[in-house]
Structure 1
Amino acid sequence: MIILALDTAAADCAACLLDTETDRVLARVSETIGKGHAERLMAVLDACLSEADMKLTQVHRIAVNIGPGSFTGIRVGVSTARALAVACGCQCVGVSSLGALAAQHSPRLKGCVALATIDARRGEAYIQAFDAEGEPLSEPSAVRYDELERLAMERQAVAVGSGAVAAGIAAPRMEDNVAIETIARLGAVAKAETSVAPLYLRAPDAKPQAGFTLARA
């Protein structure tokens, strides 16, 4: 199965093609842009398909980061993934950025609980706890930085991600960003009926990007 993964939930605008039969990444394109995902996503997607010498019609499933993260970025990614899935007649599944963080750090945590965190700005972080198998132990929520250390200690968890970095409690030598390959691999095993809807945990900081239009596939 060929998986196309899209991620616009944070600063990166990324696309990845994964062959699940060989677990080989066929192509990966990522740009750290901060804002402007609506203007760059289709170009990033085209570059990814070109690198793999593939067409969109060869994709069997599209996996998209549903957040939490940037309100506008998530909206762009989810809307695009849905439209592309309809255009090419393939499945579309959503992957949580918090679940992806926990999954990519799990091998290094040696059975410890992972407290996945994403910097939400304004002194807050999005968080969710996961066990060693990647199963959620709590619902995703938004908390203040000063609550993170207490929550990690209560659960005897290792805090990972950009929220922990912002709060000054991140475990050493841990990547704080979600890897697009992780979105692809989790998307490959996600249930096909998984709801593809943005995961918003608070009201947007700014108005949605104007002028976003989806190019025809």
Structure 2
Amino acid sequence: FGSSFTHHNIFTSGTVFLQCWEYGIPLCRELAYQYETLYDYQSLSWIRKMEAAYYDNIMEQQRLEPEFFRVGFYGRKFPFFLRNKEFVCRGHDYERLEAFQQRMLGEFPQAIAMQHPNQPDEAILQCDAQYLQIYAVSAVPENVNVLQMDRVPDRIKSFYRVNNVRRFRYDRPFHKGSKDRENEFKSLWIERTTLILTHPLPGISRWFEVEKRELVSNHRFPKSSSTL
């Protein structure tokens, strides 16, 4: 693999918590309680102003919803901490799938990009090579209550859609039975899978390993899609 690659730069590159002001508010409150107990009003005033600034930032600063990517590292030429494992990565600001794929292939110039989302067979897992399998996944929010509140501004909901998330979902199209030559959508089905990570994103790293897969459902491709 590339000489620039290290365990550190692939898993920790980029600042993740820079605009996560929601995580700072409980800490401000905890410190405020301590300062008030000690009658340290100067520090109490300072921490209350910081807390107020965090609320202002939440309401006024623009934050982008990041993309998330699932990455599988297959083949015996990957280092042990990556070999035949899959991870979900929180992309950088403005980073889309194609740019992320190019970044990963730059880290692993000898790797072969797999062009399908199917699970690799044993031959791929045991081969003396490197295969990268990358596709986009969607975050499944943990805090659904706030997302269902009509009066909550979308800029607040946006944070809870993509933060403190352990579950991610993707759809894989496949043909069930023989393909209809006149209408391929007739036999097209969707397999929906949920990936569960070892830790929620974001965390101390932009990446966490997938510890469990759940097949959510198989359902027929929507007929309306055939007209798109």
TM-score (norm 2): 0.27
Larger Cα-atom Rg: 2
**Which structure has the higher relative contact order (CA within 8 Å, separation 6+)?**
1
Using the size of structure 1 for normalisation, the TM-score is 0.28
